[in-house]
Structure 1
Amino acid sequence: MAKSNKQWLRRHVTDPYVRKAREQGYRSRAAFKLLEIDEKEKLLRPGATVVDLGAAPGGWSQVAAARVKPGGRVIAIDLLKIAPITGVEMMQGDFRAAKLEGVRADIVLSDLAPNLSGVANVDQARAAGLAFAAIDFCRKTLKSDGV
């Protein structure tokens, strides 16, 4: 294992948020990012329709599903297969080709990240391309008062 991988693994296993996520049943430490954002902004509300782009492994979808009950809907989209989450509809594939059949979202979440090549210019261009695609997705999918 490369030195950088060993360092990452050491940091990961000692990270307090990784431990906290495991203890609270979240799939990733990223759940705490969304919890913090939502505590401040109050975006996720009962009955809301949420689309989660780049959803794997599902930490944000777990938070969203809990916060939009009752009557809410969460659609998680990712290229990777995501293990089922109660209250979340899974779509495996590219969000740019997703068929949402007229779904109008109140909220679009995005934690999209490209596959990294290690070449800064290439990685930056890929990240920008995903960001622009997510903006286009929002234009097509969000309700007029959506976020």
Structure 2
Amino acid sequence: MRKVFFVGLLVIGLLFIPQVTLGLTSPEVKARGGETTVMFIGDKGLQLDTEYGINSEVGLNVAIRKDMAKVGAKYEFDSNLALLLGVVDQAPFFGANLAMPLAQDMGFIGDLTIALASNRLMATLEMGVVIDLGNNLDLRGGLLAETNQSGKNFSFQIGLGVNY
């Protein structure tokens, strides 16, 4: 009960800080630039995620943690929508990365990934908060929901992102 109260209070507090954006990754691709994040995810430990934009529409993404490896490409339709294709744990995946502005300094961002491994469907949904700490540094926190052959998992995640 105490843990739930603390996390709820943290999320509410983050929503009232100026220049807050909901989401862990943006659908926007930066030409010859990108972002690298280090996240601590509940029971799963650390995750390293990096993205690099080949041009203003196509980017490459790699994510690694102890129980998962993901390599993919992102195609940006506009700054609010990107499609994802790639391989996660030797299974092909596709997904969408969405952003919806809520106010001038606030918006909602979500990421949904679906993969098919051994004729079994796996799905991942991420949503969260990103707070700009400086020119190229941000604090990220949010929720990660996964379902796969081993069951369903719901985790909180927090970390830092560097934009370049």
**Shared fold per TM-score greater than 0.5:** no
More strand by percentage: 2
Tell me which protein shows more helix as a share of its residues. 1
Q: TM bucket by the smaller chain? A: under 0.3
Query: Which has the greater radius of gyration?
Result: 1
Q: Normalising by structure 1, report the TM-score.
A: 0.26
Of structures 1 and 2, the one with the larger relative CO (CA 8 A, separation 6+) is: 2
Superposition TM-score, scaled by structure 2 size:
0.25
